[in-house]
Amino acid sequence: MPELPEVETIRRTLAQHVSGSKITSIQVIWPGALKGWEDQEFVASVTGKKMERFDRRGKYLLIELEQGWSLIAHMRMTGRLLYYPQAHEPERHTHVVFGLDHGELHFADLRKFGRIQVVPTSERWKVPSLAILGPEPLSLEFTPEVLMERLKRKKSNLKTVLLNQSVLAGLGNIYTDESLFRAFLAPERLADSLSLAEVVLLHRAIQEVLREGIAAQGTSFRDYRDANGAKGTFQNSLQVYGRSGEACLLCGMLLTKKRLGGRTTVFCPRCQH
């Protein structure tokens, strides 16, 4: 499921192929994939415009178009943005086809949770889902002190709090579990109970795991693909996610699965406190 490293990889692979490309046509197969606008309006405001810049904020992909318009895409769990150098028949779960001056861009999503919206570029950061986002975990503004201050405000457990995009932008289930394991912190620990030393460990773990995830071009546990349709490789480096019942790679103890904040959480009951 596309989290920060996967969206970043999509951003990079997309920019390689379609930076400066003009959107010459749009075929809306399933209008539900377009958020906030009737599909005719979406088509009208996007057709004929070049894609000039590709940015990312948390798990959101931002595509800046000519003439003051931007696309905002969110993949949720199974969304894909796929570039084809030549015209390509829509696949089973393709919902929108952007015809380009060179090739095509397909938005596909098996579970139909992902969305693309079009907004004036000047109002991008006012879109509520972007406006509420916490700091970028790989930015200079994200320091252990900032993390400490944000965790102090929350009464819930670490797992739930780290998944909250208004606390920190970009972590999903996979990278949260991996970060907590690397920081030796139990997912059930209350977020406001951490010492500064523990927060420093967590801060470092989050940055390491995200940087490694990006370097590995993301985690293709199941559905994730980049804009080339290629899998990432970080699934080979996961230490806890998806390994419930298997041995901890540090101590050999069986990894435990527990539901926290409605999400499956895997951790080592011996290494994480």
Partner DNA sequence: CCTTATGCCTGAATGC
Partner DNA sequence: TGCATTCAGGCATAAG
Q: Which stretch binds DNA (CB under 7 A): 19-27, 62-70, 148-156, 229-237?
A: 148-156
* Residue 204 binds to DNA (criterion: CB under 7 A): no
* Residue 112 binds to DNA (criterion: CB under 7 A): yes
CB atoms within 10 A of CB 188: 15
Which among 49, 56, 57, 59 is annotated as catalytic? 59
59 is catalytic: yes
Cβ burial, residue 13 (10 Å; 0-12/13-18/19+): buried
- Contact pick of 9, 21, 160, 220 for DNA (by CB under 7 A): 160
CB 262, min distance to DNA, A: 5
135 is catalytic: no
* Residue 179 binds to DNA (criterion: CB under 7 A): no
Q: Cβ distance 214 to 5 under 8 Å?
A: yes
In 91-216, the DSSP E strands lie at 94-100, 104-109, 115-120
Give the C-alpha separation, 61 to 63, whole Å. 7
Q: Cβ distance 191 to 209 under 8 Å?
A: no
- Contact pick of 47, 261, 269, 270 for DNA (by CB under 7 A): 261
Site map for DNA, 23-62, x if CB under 7 A? ---------x-------------------------xx---
CB 78, min distance to DNA, A: 7
263 is catalytic: yes
Which among 112, 258, 263, 270 is annotated as catalytic? 263
* Residue 263 binds to DNA (criterion: CB under 7 A): yes
Q: What values do phi and psi take at 61, rounded to 5?
A: -100, 130
Question: Residue 22 corresponds to which tokens in the numbers above?
Answer: 């003009």
CB 153, min distance to DNA, A: 6
- Return the number of the residue (1 or 210) whose C-beta is nearest DNA: 1
User: Cβ contacts of residue 166 below 8 Å, gap of 6+?
Assistant: 132, 133, 134
Q: Cβ distance 115 to 73 under 8 Å?
A: yes
- Return the number of the residue (9 or 165) whose C-beta is nearest DNA: 165
Q: What values do phi and psi take at 117, rounded to 5?
A: -130, 160
Active site residues: 2-3, 59, 263
Residues in touch with DNA (CB under 7 A): 1, 3, 32, 58-59, 74, 76-78, 92-93, 110-113, 128-129, 153-156, 160, 163, 165, 172-174, 259, 261-264
